[in-house]
Amino acid sequence: MDETTLGAYCRRMAVPRPHTADAVSLHVLHRAHQMTVPFENLSIHLSEPISLAEDDLIDKIVNRRRGGFCYELNGAFAFLLQAMGAEVKRVAARVYGNGQTGPPFDHMALVVRASDASGPWLIDVGFGSHSVYPLLFDSRHEQDDPAGRFLLVDTADGDVDVLKDGEPQYRIEPRERSLADFIPTCWWQQTSPDSHFTRSTICSRLTEDGRLSLSGRTLITTEPGSRTEQQLPDDDAVLAAYREHFGIVLDKVPRPPGDPAAPAAPEVPGLPRVAGIPGGGGATGVPAKPADSGPGGSPAPGPAAAGGPPPSGPSAPAGPTVPGGPAVPGGSSVPGGSSVPGGPAAPGGSSVPGGRTTVPGGLSVPGGSSVSGGPGGLSVPGGSGLPDGVVVREDDPGRVELL
C-alpha cells in the first residue's frame, strides 16, 4: 500500500493519518473503521464478484466507499496496519451458534503487534456486535469495552475462545494463515444455500450511541436500553437509506432469494450442501433475522462514511457524518510499561485492578506517548502515532475522543 492509498484510507475513516500504528493509533482506527466502513453482504445479492486480492479490497472499500464482510473488512484493515509498521497475523476462527462451532475459516480475525511493540492485540473490525476497541490477545483477565465485557479463554487443544458478557463468540486457531487460505470458505459463504449471507441482506454500522442496521426493508436502530424498527415503504426508500445512513450509492436494491422481485438464483454446479453447520456464515455475525442479538448473530458494525472524498459519480454524497469522532479508550492496558494505579500486578508490567484488564485515567503507551486524564482536553504528545497537535478529550472514564 503506497502513501497515497494509505492517506485515502484514513480519509475514508475520517481520521488524521497516523505516523505509525502504535497502541493509541490502533484504538482510534479500530473504532473509526467500524463507524465509517459498513459491514454488509450486498455484493452477494447484486451479483458482484468478491475478490480478496489487495487491490480489489482497497478499491471496494476506499475508492467505491463500500463495506464488506469479515474477509474483506479485516483483510483490507490488515494491509493498512502493515503499511503503518504493525506486525499483522491473520488467524482463522470458528463462529459459535447453538452452542457449537461452525466450520474452519468461518471467520477471519487479526492478531497485531503494534509498532510500539505493545500487544499482541486482537483486532476485529468485521464481526457483529463485537468490541469497539482492540483486546489484549494474551490477557486472560476480563476486558471492559463499551460493547461489553470480554474474556479470552484457552482451550484444551491450544485454541482461544472469545467470550462477550459470558457468551462464546468464536474460537480462534492461533496459527498464522495467509489471506488465500480463506478464499474457499469466502466462496462458500457467497454461494451456498446453507450460508446466512445468501439468505438475507444486511448493512450495519457502529454509531455514537449504538448501532444502525438495514436488513431487507427493516431499518433497525439500537441504543442503550432501546431498539426500534422502521419498515421502509418501497425500493426508493431503501436506496435512500443505504445512501443517507451508510454512504452507499446503488442503482438497484439488493434482493435475496425468496424476495418476490429477486431474479432466480444461479445454480452452482457441484456445490455440496453442508447440513447442520451452526451459525453457518457466522464469519461476520449476520443474523438469520433482521435483528442484532445473539452470539455470532449480531449485525456487524459497519458505517456511514464521514469525511474524505465522496464516492465516485456525479451524484454521490459525501456520506453521513460521525459525531464526536473516533475514540481511544482510557480503559485499555498496554503491557510492558503501562501504568495503572492500584490493584495487583499483571504479567507484562501492567497493574490490573479487580482482575480486569483496564487502565483507569488514560491509555499509557510504551516509548513515551500517552493519553492521560485531566480537565480541559487531553493532548497526544508528538511521540505517539497520531500527528502532532492532535487533541483529544475524555468525556467518561475509558472513552477518549478526538476533538
The share of the chain scoring above pLDDT 70, in percent, equals 64
Nearest CA-CA partner of 214 in 266, 251, 254, 261: 254
How far apart (Å, rounded) are the C-alpha atoms in residues 308 and 350?
A: 37
391 falls in which pLDDT band (50, 70, 90)? Answer: low
Cell triple for 86: 504493525
pLDDT for residue 145: 95
Mean pLDDT of the residues in the chain: 75
Helix (H/G/I), strand (E/B), else coil: 104:
coil
Lowest mean pLDDT across 24-33, 123-132, 184-193, 281-290: 281-290
For residues 65-91, average pLDDT: 97
pLDDT for residue 129: 79
For residues 94-117, average pLDDT: 94
Check if the beta carbon of residue 202 is closer than 8 Å to that of residue 181. no
Check if the beta carbon of residue 121 is closer than 8 Å to that of residue 152. no
Q: Phi/psi at 90 (nearest 5 deg)?
A: -85, 130
How far apart (Å, rounded) are the C-alpha atoms in residues 146 and 178?
A: 31
Q: Each residue of 108-118: pLDDT tens digit?
A: 999 999 999 99
Nearest CA-CA partner of 35 in 363, 230, 325, 393: 325
Helices (H) and strands (E) in the chain, counts: 6, 20
Cα Rg of the chain (Å, integer): 20
Domains (ranges, CATH) in the chain? 3-182 (3.30.2140.20)
Q: Each residue of 214-273: pLDDT tens digit?
A: 999 999 999 988 999 999 999 999 999 999 999 999 999 999 877 766 544 333 333 232
